[in-house]
Amino acid sequence: MEPVATLMLRRERTVCLPPPAGPEAAVGEQAVVAFEAELLALGAVLSAELRERFAALGDAPFAHASGGVLAGIADQLGADRPHVPLFRRFPASTPEDTDELFVRRVLAWWLQRSTSRASAAARPRRSGRCARARI
């Protein structure tokens, strides 16, 4: 998927498709239903207009566009990251005071983040011919 198309999907939830291939070269209902099933697994649904536009595409444009949309949505959801449960032996390992646990975790994350930002800001960042400090 092109960078502009990825940006449009991420910010505007808009998909730009190539012109339709014609009725005889269209991918058909079965391909669109399979694509919709994969989207539903990610928690997304096609609008009626977008579904019709996908159904009117040829094989190659459909494969390219549907793959890009699936990859873009999966990337937004963090599908490439493994799921790590908060409590390994839930519910037996759940602490009594979950508010305190939440505050400790947020503070640890925040302190780690601010420390890594400070060390990154101290290093000069090279961009082309210039050296620039990150702010």
The tokens describing 52, both together, are: 């019709």
| pTM reported for the whole predicted model | 0.59
- Per DSSP bridges, beta strands 124-127 and 130-133 are antiparallel
**Number of C-beta neighbours around residue 117 at 10 A:** 11
pLDDT of residue 70: 92
pLDDT in tens, 18-39: 888 777 788 888 999 999 999 9
Distance (Å, rounded) from C-alpha 121 to C-alpha 70? 35
pLDDT of residue 95: 83
Closest by CA to 9, choosing from 78, 79, 76, 80, is 76
Domain residue spans of the chain: 3-77, 98-133
Using pLDDT thresholds of 50, 70 and 90, give the confidence band for residue 63: very high
